[in-house]
Structure 1
Amino acid sequence: MSKAGRTVQQKNRAIAAGVIVYLGLFILALLPRLYDLQRFVTADEAKWVYRSAQFLAALLRGDLAGTSVNLTPAVTTTWLGSLGLALYYQFNHTVLGLPLADWLTSLPEFRTDLPVLAATRWPMAVATSLGVVLIYGLARPLFGATVAFIGAVFIALDPHIVSLSRILGHDAPAAMLMMISVLLLLQGCRVARWPGGKVAGEQSDRDAEWQGGGDAEAQDGKVAGKWSETLFVLLSGVAAGLAFLSKAPALFLIPFAGLLFVSRIWLDRSLSGVWVRRFLLWGVAAYLTFVVVWPAAWVDPLGRPWAVVENGFISATDHDEADDENYWLVPDLGPFYYVVHGAFKLSPLVTVGLIVMLFPGLTRRPDRSGQEAGAVLNSPLFWLAVFVLLFLLFMTLGDKRSPRYILPIFPPLSFIAAAGWYRLYATFILRDHQTKRRPAADFRHLPFVITLTLSALVILLPYAPYYFTYFNPIAGGPFLAPRVVKYGWGEGLDQVGRFLQRTAPGSRVGTPYASTVAPYFGGRLSDISGDHLDYVVLYSKQLQSGEPAPAAIEYYNTAGPVFAVTLNGLPYASVFAGPALQMLPPDAGPLGYRPLSPYGTIGQPLDVDVLWPANEVSISNLPSVTLHPSVDDGAAEAGVAQTSRAAAPPAGSSLPIVAETPSNLTPVGEAMMVSRYRLNLPEDLERGRYTLFVDEQPLGDIDLRRFAAPPNLSRAGEVIFDDQIALVGYQINPSTDFVGLTVAWQAKQSPLPDYTVFAQILDAETDERVAGV
């Protein structure tokens, strides 16, 4: 075969190999992101499905201003969510039976159906997987194929990145777009290829282009280089604009880009005008992208960008939210919040690679001979490290904090770690890479790369699909993490919902993050201090914060859960029997109280637990507990919850019911005692709302009900409507002016919908309606 033929054949093989690498990397990133998308729901996703629906509905009706559904602004998120909703509608429009716009506006804000959620997650998973492939392609000229591929694998299989790039949210798009913008900017600013990623005899296309051949070729190369650099700067600005549309903290790219351009001017002041113009080009490209991609900015091209900046500043300086953050089982990490959380979310492979780069003495130092004084400013690793450190500082200065807010540092850290692993490889495995002649196709690195890829899979897959439960074992893993950092964003509450649906499908449940339970449970959901609860759910993040109160947590734990969720060694959720414990204001005497049944049953005993601070009461001086009719029962029924609590015992009312004095006090923990009072409810009590008192102090209200038909009612037999509600008794009281009717109903399922009851008087012979209500 001729030399030309062999060259063509080699190029074809290289193209085929490139296609395999890019496709394989895409599949490697996509599969863990698509696995079991309906398993659980995170706390914010129902809102993002709703916002995506509002965004698309506004766009369909031509309401451009209406596409401003959030000032985060999360426009890329709502675009991706809208794509998923549109595809879902196309496949299900016959079943839905509504026009697209009407269906979109019918979606609720705080609850989402699982198939709809999965449809909106698909575009996010595909887009972020494509982002991994694009990042690999952009990193190759800067780090070489091997380091770029290892870094891309770390991004594709990083548990923290995967967890956030398979849900509908705005953290993953912001992180991926920021990384893409930075890589493009580094190439546009002539940052040199990392020398540590180049083995002997290897020369990048960009190196050859810059070295040139003869004078004419060199001149052509310079012209081509300038155009390519300008294009990279332009595309970096486009990616930055998309990042700004994803999340306001991406605006950090503006000062970072300015710093990078200033470094170019410092290296060569004669080109200061060129770099200033390119910085302006970058900014204009970012702004135009921001305006073009967000329809709301078409009608307000200045106001919308400023509103995003203003909202980002307000959110970052929200002192009230920061002050409301509670710490009970974990410390307040202060300025070390992101450093500690980041360490717990790093993968072991990235951690080891970073340690190698932090302590270069562990490996051979790269050959620095011939490097200029400004070589550091031309190192892509240096700029990635600068990005990481400055972004950490940038986020630490804000008051609003979450480990997902620092997701943008994870892709840069992946490449820094990949460089560290390559140093280990070059030091301990490829010892002779500078002395032996390499063949044209050198595959010696493949076992090393494959080993790292398999290792990343082995680390990731045990956490699927609950990737949020991952904590770095090098930092202490699930043993230390619950003692140091808060965790829990809805994962695990899906199992709570499934348990309740199996065992008590119509019950009333108080839970944090109700929108994460709702898709799996058909009962009624409220907050954990709601009335008439059958079950109370305590979740990890709230427990670590001491919510609803440390005393309440100790009380529930003493009783023990009826169901508990543990994921990958971490306790996440516990389900306790209701009703809810009602905590009282500080200095109220008792800490709280809890009736042992959702309703008091007239004619039967009612037990009430009262919580006291330890050492403040004894069995000999326990206050008395009494039950009075509420003063303003109508106001309480209307939702004025504090009206009856603030009232004094009613004068002249029926005698209060006095509870039996407890025979003992039960210690709970070291700082609390519990006394159990019993109130014997007479048969002649009226149903309604009553108020509990400790001495002269109101505790709270409880509803008393009759759960059996009164004996004076006639039995109706088996009269059941649609297996939902039964007529169990009635009494007819005729008079000269009207006919009185008393009816007793019994629920056959819970929860019940609202009903309208029609009472009719029919002619006995003709069945014609005589009267009715």
Structure 2
Amino acid sequence: MMHILQTLPNEQSRLRFRARHGWSLLLLVAIALPLRLHSLGGFVTLDEVTFWFERSQRFREAIRMGDYAATAISSHPGVTTMWLGAAGLWLRDSVAAAGWLPNPDYATLVLFYRLPAALVHTGAIVLGFVLLQRMLPFAVALLAAVLWATDPFVLAFSRILHVDGLMTSLATLSLLAACIYWQHRPQWGYLLLSAVCAGLAVLSKSPALVLLPIIAGMAILAAPATGNPVRHILTTGAAWGGTFLLTLVVVYPAVWSDPLGVYGWLRFGVEAEGAVPHMQGNFFLGQVLDTPGMLFYPVALALRTTPISLLGLLLLPLVWLRLEPLLGLTPAARRSLLVLVVFILLFTLAMSLFPKKFNRYLVMVFPAVNILAAVALSAAVTWLARLRQPPAPARALPLGAATIAALALLNGWWWHPYHIAAFNQALGGAPMGARTFVISWGEGMEQVAAWLNQQPEITGVRIASTLRRPLQPYLVYGAQTTAAEQGVLPAQTGYVVIDVAAPQRERLRPPFDAFYGRELPVHTVTIHGVAYAWIYHVPPPVDVARNDQFGLPNAPLVLRGYSLAHTTSALSVTLQWQLPTPARPQPEPLLFLHLLDAAGNRLAQADVPLLGDSLPLAAWSPRRTYTWTHPLLLPADLPPGPYWLAVGLYDPATLGRLPVAPPPPPDAPNAGGNALLLPIELGTASAQEPTP
């Protein structure tokens, strides 16, 4: 009886632990999964639409055909990425076959490509939490997992079909499992899990090879405590290495038929791709640099943190020596944390040695950054609680961790869905990131498409864009983009789109250089206060370009150009107008056209609305160019020769003319003031530039 009574508290304790553990897993899924699934197809990145969607299709087809050598498609090698992309295709086809996907839009198709990867990332965080509980107190482990799940930089690559995010999740799991095996619990399951995840991480992207020296170092340093260090190193090394290689063979079909070809691909990825600067150039700290120096990744590490994780990193040296009394961390736990520090420093240094640099290449260390930050913040909360008089209750750590987790969750949603645009708000946020690194990878192009899709003439014109591929799929059927690769705008071009990366890299080639910084965009797409894309309206061509301002400076109208054509009975005057600001002249002015001879005699006249009866000025959109042709009837006996065309605006109520700049040419006749005088030659039916 006494034995039964003694076992009841232990059983109740186990039940409470299981309940807490179960609820924590559900909470973590509830935090991580919506952030990864909501608006999953909202925009597409350049690499996805250019490479990984198409590679996934080829990978699946090669598997179907049994052509396993053909699965060696990328030097990254991106095998896990293509497996998950192929799984998304299979899921899409299955749903479509069931009749549940009658008319999917492009965003839905993107969702299917990305969904398996998003689920894998969520599962990795949950498994990471389970592993962290073997190393850290429960509240600290849960906070670390929440910071990992809500980190905007990590989130950005957990929501797309790409290699960097998968390498990050898998490498982190491998490192955590290795820490548990060699520092906490030498159970074979952790060793095998570490090796499998390391193999999958390398199959995602080759920089995950940095895990090998770190894990080997752990094995060597842990060997003396086993009593037979040589045997321990050989046994565990063979088991880990064998499982690692077996994972490469099993998961990568190309290895089955062409292992030497796979080796060549991997070698090419390291030597050729990483060892040369990016073909499109780079941008760092406001300068165009093909090869940013050693400062690049330390700056990226700082700017890509969150205010919460940065605070944790700053506190870590202050609390490091007090982790045992504050959190009860064992020496093994502190050694595991030290492994994470070494991992961050070694990977940052290794990547800094390569000339090809992008800040996204550093994302692999950020789960480790968040784990260290969670430990430091938890220690600081406990320290502050003990300094209070009277000391704070024992619930200080859970309450503090919950508060920090809530702030991290809010921060994750604040950047949603543009986590890729996230930079530390405490260091200047998105604007500072735009001044420091190349941005724009496709985010915001769906906003560009949404605006263009609302334009009534969009299916009848072309759209010249510096970033075509992420834009085209979101346009309505019939709207076509062009890269204007010949240096001129193709016929029927109605809009020009310039993404921010082009001027950042100073790669604005013709014809785009004629718009950026010179013309006024009709619409600007901004993300978190940063202009990501500019849309310019391209009017039909005219014979003579102008830039003459009519009206007051606070509400001007600008004449952008004109063309002339005439018959024996009429002169057709085509004018292009632009409203540069939302303010417009009040009341709406009328246009007058006067044909004058050299003496200033008025030979013909027309007084009409600016766009006839088609569109009143109140309905004009700022910065868009409007074109209209006005016929000016000519006297039947008008001889050919030089004349002057006076163009002006006036208030229909007072008949007062609006001011115009510039002043008339010195040889122009007197047109009554406030008129733009244009020389014309009726005998040749041509428009002429005024003599300066």
TM-score by length of 2: 0.72
Aligned match of 1:38 in 30, 36, 41?
A: 41
CA contact (8 A) 1:535 1:578 kept: yes
Describe the superposition over 1:626-683 as per-residue Cα deviations: whole angstroms up to 9, x where unpaired: xxxxxxxxxxxxxxxxxxxxxxxxxxxxxxxxxxxxxxx99xxxxxxxxxx9999999
Change (3 A) 1:600 1:498: farther
Q: 1:378 to 1:365 in 2, by over 3 A?
A: closer
Contact 2:285 2:437 (C-alpha < 8 Å) held by counterparts: no
Paired position in structure 1 for 2:436: 484
For residues 183-262 of structure 1, the aligned pairs below 5 Å read 183-189=176-182, 191=183, 225=186, 228=187, 230-262=188-220
Cα deviation 1:506-542 (Å, max 9, x = unaligned): 2211113312111221411121545233211111111
Alpha-carbon distance between aligned partners in 1 of 2:196 and 2:157, rounded to the nearest angstrom: 23
Shift of 1:71: 2.3
SS of the counterpart of 1:516?
coil
Question: Which residue matches 1:355?
Answer: 314
One-letter amino acid matched to 1:450: A
Quick one: structure 1 residues 684 and 58, their matched pair in 2 at CA, closer, same or farther if it must change by over 3 Å? Answer: farther
Alignment RMSD: 3.9
Alignment of 1:146-157 (within 5 A): 146-157=139-150
Select 1:466's aligned residue among 412, 418, 438. Answer: 418
User: 1:606, 1:275 → 2: CA distance?
Assistant: 85
- Is contact 2:378–2:401 with CA below 8 Å preserved after alignment? no
1:505 paired with 2:458, answer yes
Matches within 5 A, 1:262-661: 262-265=220-223, 270-319=228-277, 321=278, 324-325=281-282, 329-330=286-287, 332=289, 333-360=292-319, 366-367=324-325, 379-431=335-387, 443-503=395-455, 504-506=457-459, 507-522=461-476, 523-527=479-483, 529=487, 530-532=489-491, 533-548=493-508, 553=513, 555-578=515-538
Counterpart amino acid of residue 470 in structure 1? A
Secondary structure of 2:357's aligned partner? coil
Aligned letter for 1:460? G
Query: Can you give the 5+ residue segments of structure 1 that lack an aligned partner in the other structure?
Result: 99-106, 193-205, 207-224, 582-595, 609-664, 667-676, 686-773
Q: How far does residue 256 in structure 1 lie from its aligned partner after superposition?
A: 2.0
1:80 to 84, 109, 124: 84
**Within 1, Cα distance between the matches of 2:372 and 2:566?**
70
Q: CA deviation at 1:555?
A: 5.0
Render the CA deviation track for 1:391-436: whole Å, top value 9, x for unaligned. Answer: 0011111122212111110011111101110111120014599999
Moved more, 474-483 or 376-385: 376-385
Which residue of structure 2 lines up, in the alignment, with residue 612 of structure 1? none
Offset from partner CA, 1:531-573 (integer Å, 9 cap, x none): 2332111111112112215996585323210111111111110
In the alignment, the residues of structure 2 paired with residue 97 and residue 121 of structure 1 have an alpha-carbon distance, to the nearest angstrom, of 17
The equivalent of 2:6 in structure 1 is 3
Q: CA separation of 1:269/1:546 partners in 2, compared to 1, >3 Å: closer, same or farther?
A: farther
Structure 1 residue 451, shift from structure 2 partner: 0.6
> Cα–Cα, structure 1 residues 309 and 142, in superposed 2: closer, same or farther, change >3 Å?
farther
Does the residue aligned with 2:439 lie in a helix, a strand or coil?
coil
SS at match of 1:500: helix
Any conservation in 2 of the 1:327–1:544 contact (CA below 8 Å)? Answer: no
Partner of residue 176, structure 1: 169
**Partner AA of 1:459 in structure 2:** N
Could you tell me how far apart the structure 2 residues matched to 1:235 and 1:91 are?
A: 33
The amino acid across from 1:572 in the alignment is Y
**Which secondary structure does the structure 2 equivalent of 1:537 belong to?**
strand
Determine the C-alpha separation between the residues in 2 that align with 1:473 and 1:268: 47
Query: Secondary structure of the residue that 1:44 maps to in structure 2?
Result: helix
Deviations 1:84-105 (A, max 9, x none): 111111111377999xxxxxxx
Aligned CA distance change for structure 1 residues 680 and 170 (closer, same or farther; 3 Å): farther
Distance in 2 separating the partners of 1:679 and 1:85: 64
Residues 678 and 539 of structure 1: is their aligned pair in 2 closer, same or farther, counting only changes over 3 Å? farther
* Distance in 2 between residues matched to 1:478 and 1:134, nearest whole Å: 31
CA distance in 1, matches of 2:210, 2:374: 25
Deviations 1:256-309 (A, max 9, x none): 222223333577784133113312321221111011011121112454245323
In structure 1, give the amino acid aligned to 2:253. P
Residues in 1 aligned to 2:573 and 2:356: alpha-carbon distance in whole angstroms: 49
Tell me by how many angstroms 1:82 deviates: 1.2
Partners of 1:451 and 1:680 lie apart in 2 by: 78
Please report how far the alpha carbon of residue 159 of structure 1 lies from its aligned counterpart in structure 2 after TM superposition. 0.4
Compared CA separation, residues 549 and 51, structure 1 to 2 (3 A): closer
2:27 alignment partner, one of 17, 24, 27: 24
Please tell me the residue identity of whatever aligns with 2:340.
L
Secondary structure of the structure 1 residue equivalent to 2:41: coil
String of CA shifts for 1:308-335, please: whole Å, max 9, x gaps: 233222211124x368446794464421
What is the Cα deviation at residue 684 of structure 1? 12
Report the Cα distance in structure 2 between the residues aligned to 1:679 and 1:122, rounded to whole angstroms.
Answer: 64
* AA aligned opposite 1:342: L
CA separation in 1, counterparts of 2:236 and 2:566?
80
Distance 1:79 1:168 in 2: 10
- Helix, strand or coil at the partner of 1:317: coil
In the alignment, the residues of structure 2 paired with residue 337 and residue 575 of structure 1 have an alpha-carbon distance, to the nearest angstrom, of 31
Distance 1:239 1:338, change over 3 A: same
Distance in 2 of aligned mates of 1:490 and 1:279: 43
- Kept after mapping to 1: 8 A contact 2:283/2:436: no
- Structure 1 position 505, deviation (Å): 2.3
1:330–1:485 contact (8 Å) kept in structure 2 = no
Query: Could you tell me whether the CA contact under 8 Å between 1:328 and 1:545 is conserved in 2?
Result: no
Contact 1:326–1:546 (CA<8 Å) still a contact in 2?
Answer: no
Letter of the 1:280 partner, please give it: A
Match among 14, 18, 34 for residue 15 of structure 1: 18
Asked if the contact 1:263–1:377 (Cα under 8 Å) also holds between the matched residues in 2, the reply is: no
- Go from structure 1 to structure 2 and tell me whether the alpha carbon gap of 1:234 and 1:683 turns closer, same or farther (over 3 Å shift): farther
SS at match of 2:161: coil
Query: Structure 2: which amino acid aligns with 1:395?
Result: M
Deviation for aligned residue 1:30: 0.5
Judge conservation of contact 1:42–1:489 (CA < 8 Å) in 2: yes
SS of 1:141's partner is: coil
Cα distance between partner residues in 2 of 1:573 and 1:428:
46
How far has the Cα of 1:371 moved from its partner? 12
SS at match of 2:518: helix
From the superposition, tell whether residues 20 and 261 of structure 1 become closer, same or farther in structure 2 (CA, over 3 Å): same
Q: Is the 8 A contact 1:606 1:681 kept in 2?
A: no
Give the equivalent residue in structure 1 for 2:113.
Answer: 120
Contact in 1 for aligned 2:121/2:166 (Cα 8 Å): yes
Q: Give yes or no for contact 2:440–2:499 (8 Å, CA) kept in 1.
A: yes
Distance between the aligned counterparts of 2:246 and 2:681, measured in 1?
74
Structure 2 distance, partners of 1:433, 1:274, is 51
Q: Match for 1:482: what amino acid?
A: A
The Cα of 1:141 is off from its aligned counterpart by: 1.4
Q: Structure 1: how far apart are the matches of 2:683 and 2:69?
A: 62
1:651 match = none
* 8 Å contact from structure 2 (residues 303, 433) kept in 1: yes
CA distance in structure 1 between the partners assigned to 2:419 and 2:519 by the alignment: 31
- TM-score, normalised on structure 1? 0.64
Identity in percent: 27
SS in 1 for 2:162: coil
What secondary structure sits across from 2:432 in the alignment?
A: helix
Counterpart of 2:582 in structure 1 is none
Residues 159 and 97 of structure 1, relative CA distance in 2, 3 Å threshold: closer
Question: Which 5+ residue runs of structure 2 have no aligned equivalent?
Answer: 542-559, 577-660, 663-677, 687-692
